[in-house]
Amino acid sequence: MTQDNPQDPAATPVMPDDSPGFHLAELAAWQALDRTAEDVLVLDLRGLSDVCDFFVLASGQADVQVRAIARAVRDGLARAGQDPVGSEGESDGRWILLDYVDVVVHVLKPEVRDYYQLERLWADARTLVIDPAHLASEGFARRHPDLAPPAGPAASE
């Protein structure tokens, strides 16, 4: 689905949807939550950016947690046949970026996320909060029948 005319609601894609890009973004978000990521969002950049279709944003409290979340996303998507075409920040652990062409995953420490404010920079993007309620939804189960809600602490909220 494309966004030919941003003013025409019929031409504007919606989330969640059945596009391959959203499917990958949602899978990345699931992997992040499974490693107790916080404040997980999917930003829909279709029609706003030529770089990618979706950003996945997730926070981890410590460098080691940021690295663990990014590693879980990388490993989980690799099991699904998706390898990143590039990555940045893995040795530092403050902001790790994994580039899957249509989807770019950002795992950041909260203070880095607050400083760069990607949500504000992309304020025109449609935003979907990925939380335990989203992962327990009928739509998520239909799109990802092989996944159960993450077992981490975030799932018990």
The mean predicted confidence, pLDDT, of the chain is: 89
Q: What is the pLDDT of residues 61-80, one digit of tens each?
A: 999 999 999 999 999 999 99
pLDDT score, position 14: 83
Q: What is the largest CA-CA distance in the chain?
A: 44
57 near 142, Cβ under 8 Å? no
60 near 17, Cβ under 8 Å? no
Confidence of residue 5 (pLDDT cuts 50, 70, 90): very low
Is residue 13 pLDDT above 80, yes or no?
Answer: no
Q: In what order do the strands lie in the sheet with 54-59?
A: 86-88, 95-99, 103-108, 54-59, 38-44, 126-129
Q: What angle do CA 88, 58, 24 make, to 5 degrees?
A: 80
* Residues contacting 81, CB < 8 A, separation 6+: none
The total domain count for the chain is 1
Please indicate, yes or no, if residue 11 is contained in any of the structural domains.
no
Please indicate, yes or no, if residue 93 is contained in any of the structural domains.
yes
Please indicate, yes or no, if residue 85 is contained in any of the structural domains.
yes
Please indicate, yes or no, if residue 43 is contained in any of the structural domains.
yes
Please indicate, yes or no, if residue 145 is contained in any of the structural domains.
no
What CATH number should be reported for the domain holding residue 119? 3.30.460.10
pLDDT score, position 8: 52
Please indicate, yes or no, if residue 31 is contained in any of the structural domains.
yes
The residue segments making up the domain with residue 110 are: 17-132
